[in-house]
Amino acid sequence: MADSGGLARIASLSTTLALAGCLHITTQLQPEDQKIREQAEGEDCLYMFPFPVIIGRVTVDQARANAGYVTREPADGQYYRREFHPAPIVRVRRVELREGFFLLVAWRCIVVVGEPAQAP
């Protein structure tokens, strides 16, 4: 037979997790340049775990350097093999700030979309 203290802790934890919810916000930081193709995407992120302490910064330069594109090639049957190809962005179409929260983890990313030095 479980004690009432243990049940109260389980109920409290379940309520906290159920009410924690989730959040995802994308903010465009500059006007989008329609003349530049969306061929690659790069991001630079910071994550926050249960304790609200974040040390560091996200930069557009690092997001541009982390960029790449994904190809999907047919493999056996109906499945595709996805491969990431690093390709730093040289022409920027848009810059976004993506923020999110799910249960006890939060994140903030700067995302750069544009054309890489070598087109896919």
Q: Where are the domains of the chain?
A: 22-116
Strand order in the sheet with 105-116: 22-28, 89-102, 105-116, 40-48, 68-74, 80-86
* Predicted confidence (pLDDT) per residue in 36-72, tens digit: 988 888 999 998 876 666 777 889 999 999 998 877 6
pLDDT of residue 70: 72
6-20, 71-85, 104-118: range with highest mean pLDDT: 104-118
pLDDT of residue 111: 92
43 burial type by CB count under 10 A (0-12 exposed, 13-18 middle, 19+ buried): middle
Cβ neighbours of residue 120 under 8 Å, at least 6 residues apart? Answer: 39, 40, 69, 71, 85, 87
* Predicted confidence (pLDDT) per residue in 2-47, tens digit: 566 677 888 777 776 666 667 888 999 989 999 998 888 899 999 8
